[in-house]
Amino acid sequence: MIPRETINQIMETARIEDVVSEFVTLKKRGSNLIGVCPFHKEKTPSFNVNPARNIFKCFGCGKAGDSVRFIMEHEHYSFQEALRYLAKKYGIKIEEREQTPEELAAQNERERMFNINSFAQNYFSNIMMTSDEGQSVGLAYFHERGFRDAIINKFQLGYCPNSGSAFTEFATKNGYDKDLLIKVGLTGSYENRLYDRYQGRVIFPIHNLTGKVIGFGGRILTKEKTKAKYVNSPESEIYNKSQTLYGIFFARNEISRLDNCILVEGYADVLSMHQAGIENVVASSGTSLTTEQIRMISRYTKNITMLYDGDAAGIHAALRGTNMILEEGMNVRIVVLPPEDDPDSFVQNNPIEVVTKYLEDNARDFIGFKTNLLLKDAKNDPIKRATVIKDIVETIAVIPDPIYRASYIKECSRTLEMAEQTLTNEVNKILRAKYRKQLGLDPKQDSQLSYQEYKTYESSQTSPSYQSHTQAENQPPIGFFQEQELVKLLLTHGNETIEIEGKDENDNDVVYNTPIASLIIDDLKNDGLLFRDETHKKIFDAYDRGLDTGILPTAQDFTSSEDQDVAVLAANLLSTQYKLDDWQRHRIVVKTEDDVLKKTVLTSILRYKDMVIEDRRTAIVKELMETSDPDDQLILLQKKKKLDDIRTRINRDLGIVITK
């Protein structure tokens, strides 16, 4: 683990303009810098870098944060990985804190596994490029497949000699432990004899998101029916095939830039596409697509294009796994290649312009594709047609967004020549059964839900009446924006002091210099008011602790927080898209927030209190309407009167006249 003092040193040293300019061309605009956002497609620059606050903010896609957050987002690193990247850039030495024996043992074994795999990759690549057998067998195979040396080197392809245990002997001579060689799957053991698991095979290293080799795929070059065509690394502490996508390290930035991921099936498909210049491509490597793999893609884009062979098997393969993709809220399109082609051959046999145009012209929305395909199979058979409709309805029902569901229902009602309301009813029936199952109720019993069940369930429905209710449900809670304004004041001025008039112990008029953080937090706590939004509350609590210890946090403590919600909120609140013109050159004096800071703080506190009190008052009015007990009514009326009086005083201070 990186010690806190080292983290602070990295944060203080890393300048946002230096870090971002390595990836984005920046131009000066006033005191800030602007450029084209690297996180979404745009023509007009909306990406803003603020050197004074040491943060970035895109006013197009909303990405925001400090230097560490930028590296995390752009390179898709973890917090610790981003810190190490910046430490290396600025020459800061990291001395890790002492770990527990258990942590040390686990990390040591993981590091040893990474080291062994890196050693093996170098060995396989070197053998293929320099040995007679490697060149005549392994390299010749890749050349025959049409792969150039540039793509071979990029993906670190290799070859394992067909000589029993050549690699294992070389590895053990270089000090690598045989038990660990067996554990990562490079070496096998039979009757106390060690052998190379990949002997006589070409090697496809599998990389994780940061480029480390976590496993291998080995393809046999002979036609021996007794041997598997592919041998893959076993599951280990560093390799889990259900959480791995072949080529993700080489494709991630292009997937993010193009906002689309092309999904293929095999290693060769990925290599051919990259060689042709289409780099936003990954493969599930012949395994069924998993939820973990889908979520990995969703870190970079919400759009997946699935590219399949044009034969019957390829077409029906396009239907597998797609429900899982839709369930994760992704958008899926299907491209089916001509019958004689797979992605590898199609790209190898056609110019890039033809490939690109084919992908653009033949990408079909998945549900539309599936509907037309199944209807074609059903022809005029009414029973098969009913089965198709049920299948399509089940697919639509997995989509989490009610607006998308409603859109697909409308489209499918036209294609299936069926009333939209009928499809809506069927989708809602599936959703209702699913929800009852989640509640531990009988999903087959399609009876009325209880009121509480219904209130939770209805937000997922598709009809217009449900949607209008959902929109109301999704409104921010009472006081949210008032809370946010107070949080912004804490971040921008929390450490500053303002003069507050008061009385001393002898009842004399005095003026106190009070930190703004103290004015906001103490005032709210004295009235028993706490923020409701969890992220707002984290910042509130941090300043509260700072007042107790005498060391108030700075804005950078929040923009550099490991808590992503806190860091993004802080960066957003500290950023502004607009710049005040220099009106003084026109001899016009414009008051800034600093000029009226005291009034701004006091007004923001009063507005927040007013909103909270009005919320409580509304709740009491509702109780009054629901109770018929005279004693309860009297108590509630007294409470309401007290709140009305407080609210009147607050609004008088705000200069607002209450008319109701």
What secondary structure letter does DSSP report for 562?
S
Q: Which domain holds residue 555?
A: 476-660
Q: With pLDDT > 70 as the criterion, what percentage of the chain qualifies?
A: 84
C-alpha torsion angle, residues 523, 526, 532, 534 (rounded to 10): 80
Q: Report whether 90 contacts 141 (CB < 8 A).
A: no
Question: Do 607 and 500 share a structural domain?
Answer: yes
Where among 362, 393, 427 does a domain terminate? Answer: 362
Residues 6 or more apart whose Cβ sits within 8 Å of residue 206: 213, 214, 215, 216, 217, 233, 239, 244, 246, 285
Question: Which of 183-187, 244-248, 330-334 is least confident?
Answer: 330-334
Q: Could you write out the three-class secondary structure of 268-312?
A: HHHHHHHHCCCCCEEECCCCCCCHHHHHHHHCCCCEEEEEECCCH
- In degrees and rounded to multiples of 5, residue 27 shows phi and psi of -125, 145
* Model pTM above 0.75: no
- The CATH number covering residue 16 comes to 3.90.580.10
**Amino acid type, 293:** Q
Question: Do 113 and 76 share a structural domain?
Answer: no
Residue 190 has pLDDT above 90, yes or no: no
pLDDT in tens, 601-631: 888 888 888 787 788 788 888 888 888 777 7
Where among 307, 330, 362 does a domain terminate? Answer: 362
DSSP string, 185-237: TSEEEETTEEEETTTTEEEEEEE-TTS-EEEEEEEE-S--TTS-SEEEPPP-S
Res. 413 pLDDT band, cuts 50 70 90: confident
Res. 443 pLDDT band, cuts 50 70 90: low
pLDDT in tens, 295-311: 888 877 889 998 877 66
Check residue 247 and give its pLDDT: 94
- Is 437 inside any structural domain? no
> 15-19, 83-87, 117-121, 497-501: which has the highest mean pLDDT?
117-121
- Is 440 inside any structural domain? no
Question: Do 43 and 165 share a structural domain?
Answer: no
What CA–CA distance (Å, rounded) separates 95 from 5? 10
DSSP string, 429-451: HHHHHHHHHHTTS-TT---PPPH
Mean pLDDT of 76-80: 80
Question: Do 229 and 207 share a structural domain?
Answer: yes
Question: Do 545 and 593 share a structural domain?
Answer: yes
Res. 564 pLDDT band, cuts 50 70 90: confident
3-state helix, strand, coil in the chain (%, to 5): 55, 10, 35
Question: Do 74 and 112 share a structural domain?
Answer: no
- Is 442 inside any structural domain? no
Question: Computed over its alpha carbons, how large is the radius of gyration of the chain?
Answer: 32
Structure tokens at 324: 């899982």
> 337-341, 430-434, 581-585: which has the highest mean pLDDT?
337-341
**Which stretches of 45-86 are assigned E, i.e. beta strand?**
47-50, 55-58, 64-65
Residue 448 has pLDDT above 60, yes or no: no
pLDDT in tens, 594-608: 456 777 888 888 888
Structure tokens at 348: 């190898």
- Is 336 inside any structural domain? yes
How distant is the alpha carbon of residue 524 from its chain centre?
35
Residue 579 has pLDDT above 60, yes or no: no
Question: Do 649 and 563 share a structural domain?
Answer: yes
Question: Do 272 and 225 share a structural domain?
Answer: no
Question: Do 287 and 195 share a structural domain?
Answer: no
Question: Do 144 and 13 share a structural domain?
Answer: no
Check residue 425 and give its pLDDT: 85
Structure tokens at 65: 């944060």
More confident residue, 503 or 609: 609
How distant is the alpha carbon of residue 610 from its chain centre?
37
Check residue 590 and give its pLDDT: 43
**Which stretches of 294-384 are assigned E, i.e. beta strand?**
303-308, 331-336, 364-365
Question: Do 160 and 67 share a structural domain?
Answer: no
Check residue 445 and give its pLDDT: 58
Closest CA to 194 of 215, 234, 166, 218: 166
DSSP string, 156-177: T-EE--SSSSHHHHHHHHTT--
Q: Report whether 643 contacts 611 (CB < 8 A).
A: no
- Is 413 inside any structural domain? no
- Is 423 inside any structural domain? no
Res. 132 pLDDT band, cuts 50 70 90: very high
Check residue 284 and give its pLDDT: 84
C-alpha torsion angle, residues 188, 189, 193, 197 (rounded to 10): -10
- Is 291 inside any structural domain? yes
More confident residue, 47 or 575: 47
> 148-157, 364-373, 425-434, 463-472: which has the highest mean pLDDT?
148-157
What CA–CA distance (Å, rounded) separates 293 from 580? 46
- Is 316 inside any structural domain? yes
Number of domains, the chain: 4
Question: Do 175 and 141 share a structural domain?
Answer: yes
- The CATH number covering residue 338 comes to 3.40.1360.10
- The CATH number covering residue 216 comes to 3.90.980.10
> 117-126, 426-435, 617-626: which has the highest mean pLDDT?
117-126
Q: What is the mean pLDDT of the chain?
A: 81
Question: Which of 56-70, 137-151, 482-496, 595-609 is least confident?
Answer: 595-609
Where among 239, 267, 295 does a domain terminate? Answer: 239
What CA–CA distance (Å, rounded) separates 339 from 337? 6
